[in-house]
Chain A
């Protein structure tokens, strides 16, 4: 159990703004990256990052180091908030057909505000997702990238929930393995 991480979050919960600065310094990069992945624009990603750190302050006293490391907690709070934001804005496409192709949110397209190497990396990631078996691809797109719950995806596809969970787990593992090979090369 990390005593330092627990102490840090206790300080954040006590409204210690220096502790919030420390939290930002440690996790802003990761939080921004996941916000950039899920939000349709850079501006929205930046707004979302502000909200995430307010959320981290609001929930700081609930962090339990016996349950997870601080990075896991931070990223869970971040992803949950980003998915809630997506739902409120209803920016997800209303896909219901198994055969419907999803072309990805705008931040996966090359744009003027993206560095060339980043655009290339994102394009390769989307290509890797497209190479996955059909069910894994769709489940990853709808849950991991669009924020649908697994039950919603199960209902959309008419597939058992256990099947959806397995597809997502295996798809993420395969995607990470392939992505690591790409970035190492």
Chain B
């Protein structure tokens, strides 16, 4: 039985301009893409051709050309971004010595064993049938990508490459506290876990199933005193995203801090419990 939400050729063509200009909202854009993939090849070719003509058409645009010096600025900006990403993915020099944990970082309401989490995650990832049953129940193509990863023999290595080489070591450290971030809206496909090491002032945020959009997300922390701090703006790069932080303030590392992921429209999509 065909899903009633799949668009036909006429509907696809009617909305092709809006899709090309990025004027469909997130859910409409996902429906449009899903419908596109269901369409016959000839219809897909027609849409691709039409949208490329629209995109390349300067008719509705100003005629100004960019200044010559902008080229170097752009290339430098990209080069800096590349360098920044490489430095963030560099392995830690040290996990840090074990110290007595203070009440700021340990609270029986929030603590669970990260090592157990990863053993459970490994079991889930290794359980092909269980993973497929869970992810295929979600109508989210990125969750399906994760299912694909889970089914491959390279799961662990791919995850390490997507996140950081020493993520297992970091999150398995007994001094690390894990905080779960849950969706605020039903059927939102993403979730996240914040791993905080108060002894080294470092944190690692593992985000799964966050929709990939052209807009950027924000990771924000609200401290116990009500002040907020935007830690990072980032783009979802796929079913698994990892963010690493160093030299965080104690107020940010405290269990009383509230972590949130905010989407490009300003809506809070994930929040720590």
Residues of A within 8 A of B (CB): 15, 17, 20-21, 24, 28-30, 32-34, 36-37, 42, 46, 49-51, 53-55, 57-59, 61-62, 66-69, 71-72, 74-77, 79-81, 83-84, 87, 107, 114-115, 117-118, 121-122, 125, 143-144, 149-151, 165-166, 168-169, 172-173, 175-176, 179-180, 183
In the complex with contacts A169-B15, A183-B59, A80-B52 CB distance below 8 A: no
Q: Which residues of B contact A149 (CB under 8 A)?
A: 23, 25, 265
The verdict on B100 contacting chain A, using a C-beta distance below 8 Å, is no
The verdict on B67 contacting chain A, using a C-beta distance below 8 Å, is yes
How many residue pairs between the two chains, A and B, have CB atoms under 8 Å in the bound complex? Answer: 166
Partner of A28 from B33, B63, B66, B212 at Cβ < 8 Å: B66
Evaluate contact between A69 and B23: CB separation under 8 angstroms.
no
Evaluate contact between A115 and B22: CB separation under 8 angstroms.
no
CA distance A30 to B212 in the complex (A): 24
In the complex with contacts A28-B71, A81-B214, A151-B25, A115-B78 CB distance below 8 A: no
Most buried by B among A50, A54, A72, A176: A72
Partner of B75 from A24, A51, A121, A150 at Cβ < 8 Å: A24
Evaluate contact between A24 and B62: CB separation under 8 angstroms.
no
Evaluate contact between B23 and A150: CB separation under 8 angstroms.
yes
Q: Which range holds the interface residue count of chain B?
A: 35 or more
Q: Which residues of A contact B74 (CB under 8 A)?
A: 24, 28, 49-50, 53
Q: Which residues of B contact A69 (CB under 8 A)?
A: 48, 51-52, 55
Q: Which residues of A contact B213 (CB under 8 A)?
A: 80
In the complex with contacts A79-B22, A143-B23, A169-B14 CB distance below 8 A: yes
Evaluate contact between A179 and B60: CB separation under 8 angstroms.
yes
Evaluate contact between A67 and B33: CB separation under 8 angstroms.
yes
Evaluate contact between A168 and B214: CB separation under 8 angstroms.
no
| CB of A52 to closest CB in B, whole Å | 9
Evaluate contact between A54 and B17: CB separation under 8 angstroms.
no
Evaluate contact between B58 and A33: CB separation under 8 angstroms.
yes
Partner of B64 from A32, A71, A169 at Cβ < 8 Å: A32
Evaluate contact between A114 and B64: CB separation under 8 angstroms.
yes
